[in-house]
Amino acid sequence: MRMTIWTRSTVEVLTPVELDSSEQTTTKLPSREKSQFNGIISQSVLLGYSNADKLTIFSAYSGSNGITVILSSYGYLNRRVYCRLFDRNKKEIYQKAVSVFPEFTIKCSESSSLQPEFVAVTINKKDVPENIKKISIETTSQNKREFTVCLAPLFGESPKILMLIEFIEYYKLQGADSFLIYSYNISGETEKLLKFYKNSLTNLDVIRIGNETKCLNRHRCRHEMQLQDCIFRSQNRAKWVATVDLDERIMSIKDDLTLVDFIRTFDDPKISELRFRCQWTLRYSEIPQGPPQIDNLPMIIWHNTSHVAPQNHTTKSIVRPENVDSMGVHGVQKFRNSKLIVKLIDPDVAVVRHYRFVKGWSFFLKEAESFGKFFEFNLSPGLSSLIVERVMSFQLSVAVNDAPFQKKNVTPNTTIGELNNDAILVWKDTAIVYDVTSETNEFGPATTMQQLGVTSLSVLYIYTTAFPCPSGDLRSIVPAQIRLISQFASAASSLFNQKGTTAAAPAPQRAQRPEATAGSAEDEDEGMKSIFSRKILDSPALLKGITETMFFQLKNDPQGLARRLPELVERFFENKDQTYKEFEAFFRLFIEEEVHKEEIIKNNPNSAEAKMFLEAKRNKELINEQYLHSMTHHPEDQVPVTMLYINLTINGVPVKAFIDSGAQKSIMSMACAERCNLNGLIDRRFQSMARGVGGTEKIEGKIHLCDVRVEDAHFSCPFEVMNRREMDLLIGLNVLRKHACCINLKTQRLEFGNGTSTPFLQSFEIDTHLKEIMALPEEEMHVDEEGTSS
């Protein structure tokens, strides 16, 4: 069948995107997805018109359809800006007024006579360009990559290493020959992994995205920008491009059919998008902190899977980038040619498997349940073994190549005989010592790494140094990268002390594993809160390490820690100047209190005290769930409100006035009076004290009649004069009533009774006013109700 879905074009006229499918599509889309076809970004995400970022170019590309600019600035959708082109000497050769559509995207026209090499975008025609960008000029290659995977921006401190390895290795198995990885604000471990992949693969690019934006749903806006950049970056480089998130796997139902083979079956050039329906496989816990382990691979351990979602509900796509004009999160928004079509993929052929972490997602689970029954999904044994082997080989290679004493490539099938005779293998908290020349060895030279039980492989190191060290200090040869030094040293030392010799042990022995750490899977169900364990209190070494880490974070990044342990941060700042010794006692007491609560809940759940603790715990969970729901569906409620300012003139001097209908009187600062030459008109007889929410301040006097010009009209206004540096001029209720003013928030204008109206200023204009006119440091700005707009 064929059906038509309507999307928005650059001139705000709806144009059809043709769909081609042999299956029946649902006639009613879930309400939460309707915004997909109302524009590139859901209207609920759009902030006020005045909250736009500073106009900045992220990238610029030249193709068969002219020059396309991708902005990193939020808030310019459908606004007119000027695209300005420059030659190789940065001499301007072309200028045109264009609209930003879709969000973050500007379509510039090439000069017919000169080939531009640089581009800039300005708000006004005569503005001096501040962000001239080199244009990426690439001709269409005959040797295009066949299948490129674009990964949505990585961000945050949650463990990503294992899932990222699984993501890349899975899509490599599916035939992907190129990757575009976008990232911002990620952990050092993730950065290290990306660096390794970038150095080892010639077909993987890492694109950094800036983190500064006024968009409330920051990740969503960065994702929208990344999608446009991915499409235009790939238009001359790749035949097909998949746009997916880190936890999404587009998967053929047939085990022997890879994605690249599936794509090759579509030889109709009009088919420019393959759209896949979604299934959710639920992850009930986050990947544990610490070294990634094979046993935690999401595709291997999670199986509870939803029924396939209705058509066009949170779909994902593989597209021909050369035919796409704008890309959305869940499908193409606009093709370059109205004859191009979308192929709706039958879920019996291929689907998107979304390995979704359920925390904070309960509001959507009911909707997912409405699609049909959940079922147990398992990867085929062949695919499972391939993924494990690829991930395991990669982890071994990375870990060994990081070791300071020896560089050696290792795979799961590497044998003991292929390593040095006196090598020591270290993973987790276990040490194995072996001598391959000994006849009593349980493991011989042909024993493989897999047979040794090496599964947590990112902390596998190979040493060729005799033990114990001449200095007697085992730690002196353990590389600084290993953060489990105390556990390893304890286990290995006991083993060596039993032997009492510098020779390697005659038979392999597995040291007794110490108590589980805060990063182990057993105690990792709630991430950082796994420190609330009796095991931690009973292990001085572990407690000391965690205490040092917490003290460092509280001193250097309290905001980041507050998102995970708000109670700890709040209590710490009651005495934030405490010494480390004082913090040790404070932190131990804090853990003891939390452990005590958990033990009461576990051992005596029906007691009044347990019920009180449970009620507090449930309230916190409810608050977090409501906050996530609010951020997703009502993000405008979280926006710091930009205050209302207008431009006016007094005695020929331009002034920015703050409109405050809650203030009884209108106020002028002494600095403003001096700039406007009104000092001589201040009546000092009206000195008094002003009382308000902020406290009490002295009124220096009053200007009875001041001529204020707004647009082309003049108004007489009285002002109280005060020494307030942060408030240059305030128009209060007395002036607003006198001139019958209307604060029209729909049109974003201040309207006067005589018909005069003037627009409210944008936040960046107010920032400039506070910094330059009044010479205020940024931390003293009061543009927004809850802080600075920036």
What's the number of CA atoms in the CB half-sphere (13 Å) around residue 243? Answer: 30
Residue with tokens 């009973």: 538
Verify whether residue 660 is a known catalytic residue: yes
Nearest alpha-carbon partner for 171 in 243, 268, 72: 243
DSSP-assigned beta bridge partners for residue 427? 430
* End-to-end CA gap in the chain: 50
Q: Measured between alpha carbons, how far is 655 from 769 in angstroms, rounded to an integer?
A: 9
| Number of Cβ atoms within 10 Å of the Cβ of 250 | 23
Token digits of residue 403: 């070791």
Of the candidates 429, 660, 728, 767, the residue annotated as catalytic is 660
Question: Element (H or E) spanning 631, and its range?
Answer: helix 608-633
Per the CB < 8 A criterion, the answer to whether 44 and 634 are in contact is: yes
What burial letters (b/e) apply to 718-757, b meaning 16+ CB within 10 Å?
Answer: bbbbbebeebbbbbbebbbeebebeeeeeeeebebeeebb
* Per-residue three-class SS string for 332-350: EEEECCCCCEEEECCCCCE
Nearest to 362 by CA among 33, 629, 634, 30: 629
Q: Are the beta carbons of 478 and 485 closer than 8 angstroms?
A: yes
Q: Compute φ and ψ for 41, nearest 5 degrees.
A: -120, 135
Sequence-distant (6+) residues with CB within 8 A of 146 are 175, 177, 238, 239, 240, 260, 263
Cα–Cα separations (whole angstroms), residue 621 to 226, 446, 609, 626, 629: 32, 53, 19, 9, 12
d(CA 240, CA 759): 46
| Nearest alpha carbon to residue 531 among 497, 492, 567, 560 | 567
Instruction: Please name the residue that has the structure tokens 């800036």.
Output: 210
Contacts of 310 (CB under 8 A, 6+ apart): 25, 26, 29, 30, 277, 371
Query: Would you please indicate which residues are annotated as catalytic (active-site) residues?
Result: 660
